[in-house]
Structure formats: structure tokens, C-alpha cells
């Protein structure tokens, strides 16, 4: 699983994601590895970032060594090397045009791998069980494109979905077409992937107390936790993180209305970066290993391109100061 956070702030867009990918095998075992879930591009598209979450790849269960049935990271590399290089060199695509081209490219590959993907997914039990109940569910990938058009300081955020689910929009993508730009104004926050912790902690007045009443409850139906060996340590970390997130909520009046999460008092880049870190930190400890490894944070500024950094989840201090004192 993954947590993708996108925040539009006063003078840029902040992207954040964890780097853990979990492969489930037919024998019931699970292997976690580090992957980069935020893709960047060379000029003239260095003002765009692409986040991915969901079922990022699938390994064949019928061959040894295991073989990749598909990999979204490999597809994006092919898009960067092929599709973008065949566009008119005299014309730079808008963020919307870039999204359209990427969606067409990825959809073609998703559709062409469908029969083998469904066959291998069935071996893992990713779908309907014989008794009619659902396991982890059909495979899905959510892709978010964020960036700035030349001369436009507002920026855009466009998510779209590749899925085997029926109906296709039955995915945590706010159920909205990408052209509506769910982060349409400064202060908008888009949470995709595994949003349970983030949504709960932002909605609840005292989520810490609610969590402490049932710290062992299942995090996500259909998935087994990867690591639940130290509940005391998890609780100590969450006691540090949750009050800070709720302080951001209070300071910047973060609300959720009709599927949109937004701050009515827009943050600056440093504030948005710190909030994104806290949301990924908190989700990593709340999810018992489904979200984790290092955090990648990227900042996109108009006319200045994108800058990224990696943060070690274990070594970084958890006390993050809110820069703006209101």
C-alpha cells in the first residue's frame, strides 16, 4: 500500500509519498521493498511530478525466478523515453495535455496486460473468493499528475485511475473526473492510496483518544499487517505525531466538504511540507508496516521546476515546528 499526499500552497505544490511496496505470494508470504513513487522529468517538463499508488507491479506465480507481469514504474520510464520524445519539439504540452498523453500511454499497456494480469491475480486470491466474499480486491493503480503551465502561477493536480474494478470509478479517487482538478485552489489537499489514518485524524476532534482505545484493531480489511511487533513503540510515535497534525488542522482551518480536503487559510511551502511529512509518518506507524521506508518529498514552484529529497523515517525528528505563527 501507499500514501500519496499532494498539497497546493501559496507559492507551489508539495508532493509526498512513502517508498514501501509489498509483494504478496501465493504461499501467503509477503515481501516489502523500496520503490520510488514520485517520477520527475527533464526540461521542458521539469515543472511536473507524477505520483503513483495502488498495485504498482505484479509478479508471476507460475515461473521461477518470478517474472514481472507488469510494472507501472517501467511503463513510466518507457513513457519518458518514447512518448514524450515523439511529441512536437516546438510545442510544450500543458499539464492537462501531459496528463492526457500519459493516461493514453498507460491505459494501452494496462489493457494489453489484462488477461495475464487477471490470471496471476486469481492465483493470489486478489478478487472474489468462492464464497462470494472479497479479498484485497481487483488490481488498481491511481496516478496523480501535478505541475504548472508556463505563465500560470496556480498549478494543476489531475488524478486518474487504471483498474480492474467494476464499476471502474469504485476507487479512492474522490470519484471525480480528473478534469475537475480536485485540488483546484491554493490550500487544497489530495490524499490517495491509504487515506484511512489521514482522513480520520483530520476529521476527529480527538483521534488520539479514539486510537488508544483500540490500538490493535485491523487497519485495512483484506490485508495482513507486515509488522506489529512493537505496539508500545507505535503508540509512542503516534502520540507525538497526532497532536501535531491536529495543530495544523486548527491553525489552518483544514476541512473536508463533499470529498474535498482543503485549508481555508492557505499554507506556505514550508508549512505544507511539514504537514505532508507528518501525514506520511503517522500513516506509517498507524498502518503496521503497510506504508513505510523512506519518505520522498518534492516541491514544485512556478518557473523554478521541481526539487526532491529523501527523508529517513526512523532518524528524522518528529517535532516539526509550524513556521507561520497566527
Instruction: Using pLDDT thresholds of 50, 70 and 90, give the confidence band for residue 132.
Output: very low
Pure H helices in 47-170: 72-78, 95-112, 114-123
142 forms beta bridges with 53, 161
Instruction: Pick the more confident residue, 70 or 124.
Output: 70
Instruction: Using pLDDT thresholds of 50, 70 and 90, give the confidence band for residue 61.
Output: low
Pure H helices in the chain: 72-78, 95-112, 114-123, 196-203, 207-213, 231-252, 269-286
Taking Cα atoms as reference points, which of 39, 41, 35 lies closest to residue 55? 35
Q: Which domains does the chain have, with CATH numbers?
A: 3-311 (3.60.20.10)
Model confidence at 173: pLDDT above 50: no
Distance between CA atoms of 300 and 52, rounded to whole angstroms?
17
Q: Which tens digit of pLDDT belongs to each residue from 224-267?
A: 555 555 677 778 888 888 888 888 888 888 877 655 677 877 78
Backbone angles phi, psi at 309, to 5 degrees: -145, 155
User: In this structure, what C-alpha cell is assigned to residue 309?
Assistant: 529529497
Q: Which of 76-90, 125-139, 179-193, 222-236: highest mean pLDDT? A: 76-90
pLDDT at 68: 66
pLDDT at 131: 41
Q: Which tens digit of pLDDT belongs to each residue from 2-41?
A: 889 999 888 899 999 988 887 665 555 566 778 899 999 9
Please return the burial class of 96, using the count of CB atoms within 10 Å of its CB with bins 0-12, 13-18 and 19+.
Answer: middle
Q: pTM here?
A: 0.83
Q: Specify the range with the lowest mean pLDDT, choosing from 35-39, 229-233, 268-272, 274-278.
A: 229-233
Model confidence at 286: pLDDT above 60: yes
pLDDT at 203: 74
* pLDDT, averaged across the chain: 76
Q: Which of 99-103, 215-219, 231-235: highest mean pLDDT? A: 99-103
Q: Which of 7-11, 184-188, 202-206, 227-231: highest mean pLDDT? A: 7-11
Residue indicated by cell numbers 499508488 = 53
Amino acid at each position: 500500500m501507499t500514501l500519496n499526499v499532494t498539497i497546493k500552497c501559496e507559492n507551489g505544490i508539495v508532493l509526498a509519498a512513502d517508498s514501501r511496496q509489498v509483494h504478496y505470494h501465493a504461499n501467503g508470504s509477503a515481501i516489502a521493498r523500496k520503490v520510488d513513487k514520485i517520477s520527475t522529468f527533464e526540461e521542458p517538463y521539469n515543472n511536473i511530478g507524477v505520483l503513483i499508488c495502488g498495485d504498482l507491479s505484479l509478479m508471476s506465480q507460475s515461473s521461477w525466478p518470478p517474472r514481472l507481469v507488469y510494472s507501472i514504474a517501467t511503463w513510466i520510464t518507457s513513457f519518458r523515453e518514447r512518448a514524450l520524445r515523439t511529441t512536437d519539439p516546438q510545442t510544450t504540452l500543458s499539464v492537462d495535455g501531459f496528463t492526457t498523453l500519459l493516461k493514453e500511454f498507460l491505459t494501452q499497456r494496462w489493457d494489453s496486460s489484462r488477461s495475464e494480469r487477471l490470471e496471476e491475480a486469481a492465483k493470489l486470491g486478489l478478487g472474489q473468493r468462492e464464497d462470494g466474499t472479497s479479498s484485497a480486491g481487483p488490481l488498481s493503480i491511481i496516478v496523480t499528475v501535478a505541475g504548472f503551465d508556463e505563465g500560470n502561477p496556480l498549478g494543476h493536480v489531475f488524478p486518474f485511475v487504471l483498474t480492474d474494478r467494476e464499476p471502474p470509478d469504485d476507487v479512492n479517487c474522490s470519484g471525480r473526473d480528473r478534469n475537475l482538478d480536485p485540488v483546484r485552489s491554493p490550500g487544497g489537499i489530495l490524499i490517495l492510496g491509504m487515506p484511512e489514518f489521514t482522513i480520520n485524524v483530520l476529521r476527529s476532534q480527538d483521534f488520539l483518544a479514539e486510537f488508544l482505545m483500540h490500538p490493535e484493531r485491523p487497519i485495512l480489511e483484506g490485508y495482513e499487517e507486515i509488522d506489529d511487533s512493537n505496539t508500545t513503540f507505535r503508540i509512542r510515535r503516534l502520540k507525538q505525531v497526532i497532536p501535531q497534525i491536529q495543530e495544523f488542522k486548527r491553525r489552518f482551518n483544514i476541512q473536508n466538504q463533499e470529498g474535498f480536503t482543503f485549508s481555508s487559510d492557505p499554507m506556505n511551502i514550508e508549512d505544507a511540507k511539514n504537514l505532508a511529512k507528518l501525514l506520511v509518518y503517522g500513516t506509517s506507524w498507524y498502518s503496521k508496516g503497510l506504508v513505510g521506508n523512506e519518505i520522498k518529498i518534492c516541491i514544485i514552484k512556478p518557473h523554478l521546476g521541481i526539487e526532491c529529497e529523501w527523508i529517513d523515517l526512523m532518524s528524522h525528528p518528529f517535532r516539526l515546528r509550524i513556521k507561520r505563527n497566527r
